Structure 1
Amino acid sequence: MARRSQAPGQASLGGAAVSIRNLSKRYNNFNAVIPTTIDIESGDFFAIIGPSGSGKSTLLGMIAGYIDPTAGQIVIDGHDIVPEPIYRRNIGMVFQNYALFPHMTVAENVGYPLRIRGVPRDEVARRVNESLGMVRLDAFATRLPSQLSGGQQQRVALARSSIYKPSILLMDEPLGALDKNLRDEMQEEIKRFQQEMGVTVIYVTHDQQEAAFLADRIAIMRDGSLTQIGSPRELYEHPNSRFVAEFLGEASIFAVKAAIPSGPGQTRIVLEGGTQVVIRGDKAAGPGKFACIRPERITVGSGAATLDNHYTATVRECLYTPGSIRYRVELAGTGDMMKIRVLPQMNTEFFETGTQVDVGWSSSDMTILKD
């Protein structure tokens, strides 16, 4: 389907669908991005995460147009934009360093994309007021960027990137320069802004929690390759590899030594230290696979003995942090170490280092990883 043309400054009809097809980037003998295919729905908030050097910013740069792909297509609403110059892609961009003009006022910075598109002055003024209202900076229109806080500058950058109503908004580590409190505040601001605009957002970050809070779906990259795509919940609860499981949070991961049929709908597996565990269903467990369980899935103390898998353990480490109690325990007889996280509530049991405790979990709470 051909993309509908728009006059300069005309509002887009909503977020665009994006189809990335076998997109790659090679620098001499180095593959920065291995051929990658991703489909992003209209109005989706799509995050790309991964460690440094994974290729996430290179992928974003190819979509934006300032990095030329080696091969592949970027199809937006049925139209391949790879041959298109940056200014014809109808894509907004928000950077970590804000990229504001220091000599321009807030209003002038926000209105700049419309002025260079030849939009009439009265329309520019109207749209600037509208955009500043959306980021709650109406009262700061005449200030210079140097007179604003980091969070306020980022909101100006957000307003400027979206004032011409792009069909896609790209964000490259936009909150990386802010402290934790400001990051938390801006995450809520960005989410609200995206929902009001209805724009498709492609968001690159190294912060897994930030991606999980903001995104409808997340793509995880490693060494230039896409490893898994899914909702935050899918990726956390059903990772397909050790890398994904460990990258998205804490987990206890064990090599599987053996698998033994254990009645209808269950399999008994033997972990690397010798602990026998019952898992639910046929999860293709066996030697060469790995078993993974998240720390909040494990019960410690009261109630553990009633679960499918229950053991005696010794607390080897106890750490109280705001909002959680973290334990590292050693299972009796095998030495297998487990990570446990408990949300403290009224009358929550607390176990000191060296204490013997009961631990347990359901047969459905352990995931089998392919590698």
Structure 2
Amino acid sequence: MNLINQITTYKTNEQMFWNLNPHTNPLSHSTMLFAYYCDNSFYPIGTIFFVGNFGIMLSASHVFDEGLSKSNHNQQVADLLAKGKYHVDVKGDLGFAAIRFNSKNDTVSNITFISIEHIAACVPGDIFYASPVYHDSLIPIEYLSIKPTMPEIGTKVFSCGYTNFDYDRKNGLPLDEIKSGRFNWRDNLSFDFAVYEGEITNIYVNKFVKSYLNAPCFSVNYKIPPGLSGGPTLTKNGFVCGVNSASLVNESLISLIYPSIFTSLKTTMRIGGLTLNKIAPICDHMSFGNISTDGSEKDIKYSIEHDSLCVYHKWFKYLDNQIYENKYDEESGIFAKPRARNKKISIGIGPPITEEPSHTTGHTDRVSGGSADQAD
């Protein structure tokens, strides 16, 4: 039984939203509760999910910002986030974590507490990537595969996540009891693990509204509740086509993934006394298989604007935060060394490019080809 069948088994024909069991449904093994903690208190605020066997996670930036603002912690970090100047190493008394519910009996829950060590976001979009605290004994990971390219209007989709949190919001939950496994989840925290079903109604190629969601996104014909933010929106084939971002009166906005592929994420691995650090862009993680995709990243194109010229390129390798020439070495699998820094990058979705136009003026961040409608 595929993932969508496992999700829709629990709905009736008339339902547009329904709840899943977070302890038994397979979706809960990859889609987790997201929370922040400070002063030994733990506060659930949203949803986060795995997107590859390397442990990389994906969620909504505004949920992370909410944790910073509610904790009244580190305004300097919050300012850097807003300006898009960040890789955040989560240290000290403020932390972020994912909670995976593994199983449940009458009195206790078997959970996995996954501490988040590094966070990097795609600004001005509403997406962030995160990596956990890695050790040589890593937990088994179940994950979702993403569809980086643009979906079509009318596509049936499913938005998933945690909502209706009911707990002592003033004092939070006791962090030490949660980490030690002594916390009684059944009596002290209630929530819903919900799925909303509908269709894509519009696609905003550039942004929705600058002050609301200033990045490419699409709208759906249902309203997601608080808490689902940061959760995945899935296609009927079970691929993540967007990240839950915002609710309107009768619709919701879902952030598209492709603008975030140049975001670089730091990962740290500890093996005994050895600590290994690496920073790599998301597109590299896709190329190396650390992030699972449907293969549609080959349809992503990008343009480099330099000296009033715009050159269009196919899918490429993007290494060490530098832009590489489109001279691909099939044997080595890498591009030539960088020509210049300080180039403006724009990306869009379209069929693979077989020829590169020369001396094309302007730059593109639009859809070319395909059947997706466009709206500014």
Taking structure 1 as the reference length, what is the TM-score of the superposition? 0.25
Whichever structure has more strand as a proportion of its residues is 2
Higher helix share: 1
